[in-house]
Structure 1
Amino acid sequence: MYISISDRKGGQQDQAGAGPASVHPAFRLSPVIIWLGVVSMMTDISSESVAAILPLYVTGYLGLSTIAFGVIDGINQGASAIVRIGAGWVSDRTGRPKYVAAAGYGLSMLVRAGFLVAGGFWALAGIVTGDRIGKGIRTAPRDAMIAAEAQPEYLARSFGIHRMLDNIGAAAGPLIAFLVLLLIPNGFSTVFGVSLAFAVIGVAVLLLVVPDRLQRRRQHPGRSRPVVSWNLLRWSRLREPGLARPMAAAGLLGVLTIGDGFIYLLLQHRESFAIQWFPLLFVGTNAAFLLFAVPVGRIADRWGRVPVFLAGHGALLACYLLAGLPTAGIPATIGCLLLLGLFYAATDGVLAALVSQLAPPERLGTALGTAQTVVAISRMAAASGFGVLWFAAGPGMAVAIATALLAAAIAGAALLFRGSTAAVPAS
């Protein structure tokens, strides 16, 4: 069914200076954001059902080392960096973000079929690389569509609602993996088949339901499209006021974000529960993200996105502390999952809202792609480095070192944000 988008009246009053700055229009959610959330939901069921079994599949079923998993998880975190800026630039240049995003969703769908036949490190690394390149192609154009459809005063809330729908899928995927493994011990191939089916549904919804257009407020009279430049990676192209410092802070914090898979392996190593229960750790984190996404987005819009972004990394720091305890039990494990979900709720959509607040509309996709690239590369380094550290020093010492470094990085990021225009609340 075609979803029509009605014009918003008064949405630009505060921006243009007409009317009191303290009066905001009522919050209205565009159906396009809802449908993009449904696409992300289907895609996350697909990707997270595999992600929930991948740590045990690699280290247990295939018998590979934590270094091998660290490399694969690093690819999972950072391979998308190869194309993120380029995909955002193409989206800006063509004005057709839907089809750029569809190319990314379609690539992930096609390579996901490879899980059904892969059985070694290099095959898995190739499949994960292709899947993450697809993610890199789709993310910036999709976020640009969300930013274009959202009211400027409610950017973080709109991204939070999209992320909430996204994380319904992120919670359902591991739950499906859990049920499959409960019914079929070592039924990894069945999980891979289910994953492919949901990827197909997500692509179909995007192509058939989401309209291929941007809101008219993105169009600025007299402003031309970006000039073609072969040097897409030049930092000076994106040195908008206040944008460099948030990206540097995100990169600094990202290099200390070790990845969910390692945190869950730490919990499994400590508690020694059966492998069938492992996917429920992913369910717990994503359920917490689902719980926190919209309230945290509202807080970020009202009180400022930078404090919420930094507080989210404080939650991650507390998660590391709980995961690193030698003995803790079920309450500490549940607390760890809640803190990890809170971390994602306070950082993922909030960072996108920060960049959308600062970047000019004609380069929004490129700016979002750049921010996502910085985070992806830094998290790739974090995953690979932590895998080596675990192998060399053991899990307890590895997480202790990561915790200490993250505490220092939060303090450094706070200094980077000081004086940035991003630190000013949108209101």
Structure 2
Amino acid sequence: MQKISPNIWALGWVSFFTDLATAMIKPLIPIYVVLVLNQGMDKLGYVLAITAFVSYVFRWGSGYLSDKYQVTKPLLLVGYGLSAIMKPMFAYTASWGGVAVISATERLGKAIRSAPKDVLISASAQSNNQGKAFGIHKTLDIAGETLGGIIAFLLLSWLGQSPEFIRTIFELTIIPGVIGVLILWFFVTDVVKKQNSAAMNQNKTSQNNRLFSFEPSLWPWFIVYFVAVFFMMSDAFMVVRGSEIGIETHWLPLLMVTSALTQTLISYQVGQRLDAQGAQFLLKVGLWAGVFSILLLLFQNTMAIILAFVLQGVFVVSTLNAMRARIGQSSQGKGNAYGVFYFGVALASALGSLVVGHLWEYMSAYGALVFSGVGLTLLLFTVSLLKRGLPSPQN
């Protein structure tokens, strides 16, 4: 872990506390919508789709603004601050529509901060340590998610599973959310403008002021990842699947903990693999994990569901870190690239949630799972058959 900037560690701790708060509510949203409010899986699909879709413009726009004005910290403060404020608001909703509105608004915070955060991590790391930098950040990110899921499980076990106690858990998220914002305010330095001021002066009338001014070789990578996100089953649907096979409600948050803990344990090693073997290798590993995760969900067995969440964690950390590091290796317009990347992820995940939710509600869980599994399998074989593989970074 040599030569890792304090900025990266500070950003990691910001994400730790923010994701701790997120994980306290994340498993409760499908529980609340489907099991407490007695809404259908199509309504959960609407919640997930609206949440992703509302945020997509800002994912793109924040990356563009980061490149154009060479600043990141102000965008991060707005993004993390909005998320911290909105999470407790779930306590005051009583319908799936209210959940959708609050969830979408809270996710705007993530949308605003996502691209600038990755730009700042990349700018704070040396060029040959991109994988390690993102790996360390992801480790702290997912460690917070793991602890948050455990806290949700303990609170559900101790307080009970009534709507009133679930709302209390929503309100408690204000504590870690505020801690994350304070760390960002006092300990994170905006280094992007300092590093790139010369380059901005040379290019201020060209690349950095155009929305698509990033390395063209990234487009095939984007397409592959967007298709993967479209077909990969959301963890919210996976939690409901666990409930369907008989897992008790208070145990459901631990399913997400299983995924988060997997990501925590392997994230740094994934970063090292990225630096040693390249992003394309890790992308394929992640796709294989996604295929087997969906396959295991077809079984009505608790251990199969747990293993499905383990492999879902492998999918997330491998594919996302591969993409983030690959963009970090590009020679121009990183903020724009991260923005377009998150734009596509939001759109693909929204469409995927709508399709899966409707298939699940109006066909069956098996129909939705087969759809996801076949799609991911075809994508994996398509990528594997490419003779030259996905394009390498341009010098």
Q: What TM-score does the superposition give when structure 1 sets the normalisation length?
A: 0.86
> Please, which of 146, 171, 175 is the counterpart of residue 197 of structure 1?
175
Counterpart position of 1:67? 42
Counterpart position of 2:357? 387
Higher helix share: 2
> Please, which of 328, 332, 339 is the counterpart of residue 301 of structure 2?
328
* Contact kept in structure 2, 1:248 and 1:416, CA below 8 Å: no
State the distance in 1 between where 2:330 and 2:73 align.
Answer: 23
1:295, distance to aligned residue in structure 2 (A): 0.7
State the distance in 2 between where 1:76 and 1:37 align.
Answer: 24
State the distance in 2 between where 1:303 and 1:280 align.
Answer: 32
Q: 1:223 to 1:285 in 2, by over 3 A?
A: same
Paired amino acid for 1:309: L
1:87, distance to aligned residue in structure 2 (A): 0.5
1:354, distance to aligned residue in structure 2 (A): 0.7
Written as runs of structure 1 = structure 2, the 5 A alignment for 1:157-306 is 157-185=132-160, 186=162, 187-214=165-192, 217-220=195-198, 223-224=201-202, 226-227=204-205, 233=211, 235=212, 237-238=213-214, 240-270=215-245, 272-306=246-280
1:221, distance to aligned residue in structure 2 (A): 5.4
1:397, distance to aligned residue in structure 2 (A): 2.2
State the distance in 2 between where 1:226 and 1:102 align.
Answer: 25
- Render the CA deviation track for 1:7-36: whole Å, top value 9, x for unaligned: xxxxxxxxxxxxxxxxxxx94111100000
Counterpart position of 1:115? 90
State the distance in 1 between where 2:389 and 2:292 align.
Answer: 27
Runs of 5+ consecutive residues of structure 1 not aligned to the other structure: 1-25
1:222, distance to aligned residue in structure 2 (A): 7.7
* Contact kept in structure 2, 1:156 and 1:300, CA below 8 Å: yes
Q: 1:126 to 1:226 in 2, by over 3 A?
A: farther
1:232, distance to aligned residue in structure 2 (A): 5.7
Q: 1:418 to 1:131 in 2, by over 3 A?
A: farther
State the distance in 1 between where 2:124 and 2:209 align.
Answer: 29
Q: Which 10-residue stretch deviates more, 32-41 or 407-416?
A: 407-416
Tell me if 1:45 matches 2:23. no
Question: Does the residue aligned with 2:231 lie in a helix, a strand or coil?
Answer: coil
1:199, distance to aligned residue in structure 2 (A): 1.1
Paired amino acid for 1:328: N
Tell me if 1:352 matches 2:330. no
Question: Does the residue aligned with 1:119 lie in a helix, a strand or coil?
Answer: coil
- Render the CA deviation track for 1:259-281: whole Å, top value 9, x for unaligned: 111112112212x0211111111
State the distance in 1 between where 2:285 and 2:138 align.
Answer: 18
- Render the CA deviation track for 1:84-125: whole Å, top value 9, x for unaligned: 111111112222201111111112222223212111122111
Percent identity (aligned): 27
1:191, distance to aligned residue in structure 2 (A): 1.0
1:129, distance to aligned residue in structure 2 (A): 1.0
1:138, distance to aligned residue in structure 2 (A): 0.3
Q: What TM-score does the superposition give when structure 2 sets the normalisation length?
A: 0.93
Q: 1:222 to 1:232 in 2, by over 3 A?
A: closer
Aligned-residue CA RMSD (Å): 2.3
Q: 1:249 to 1:222 in 2, by over 3 A?
A: closer
1:418, distance to aligned residue in structure 2 (A): 3.8
Counterpart position of 1:400? 370
Question: Does the residue aligned with 1:421 lie in a helix, a strand or coil?
Answer: coil
Length, aligned pairs only? 392
* Contact kept in structure 1, 2:119 and 2:334, CA below 8 Å: yes
1:333, distance to aligned residue in structure 2 (A): 2.7
* Contact kept in structure 1, 2:70 and 2:196, CA below 8 Å: no
